[in-house]
Amino acid sequence: MAEARTPAQIEADIDRRRQELAVVLDEIGVRMHPSTIIGDARAKVTSKVDHVAGRACVAASRVVSEVRSRFVTEEGEPRLERIVPVALVAVGVIGLLVSSSKSGEKAAEAAKASGRRKR
């Protein structure tokens, strides 16, 4: 059988539970406050961005190391047999872009000039 409680015990139990409920409600209030929600969201986004940026940094470092290993020996000496062809291709591509740009400008000027003549 359950033992009988006195009114004082019941009141003490009610007060204790009321205090526990007040603490829980305060915690809910803090958790649901807009600044807390924004802070939590900001922390999650920052963490995700840091994680992605870290992975991107590691990947970029790996690519740079691989490319460097193709053009430099383990002793740090340049591998001219690989550097010279790449440099020549780069100069050729740049030359093509420059000449294409100049011929495009000349064509645009010619089109403007012929448009002026027609008026």
pLDDT tens, position by position, 30-39: 999 999 999 9
Residue 10 has φ and ψ, to the nearest 5°, of: -65, -45
Torsional sign, CA 68, 69, 74, 78 = negative
Q: Residue 118: its pLDDT value, please?
A: 54
Q: Which two tokens stand for residue 42?
A: 């900001």
Among candidate residues 27, 104, 10, the one with its CA nearest the CA of residue 112: 104
Whether residue 101 is predicted with pLDDT greater than 90 in this model: the reply is no
Question: What residues have CB less than 8 Å from 71, skipping those under 6 apart?
Answer: 78, 79, 82, 83, 86
Using the predicted structure, report yes or no on whether residue 43 has a pLDDT greater than 90: yes
Residues near 72 by beta carbon (within 8 Å), at least 6 away in sequence: 78, 79
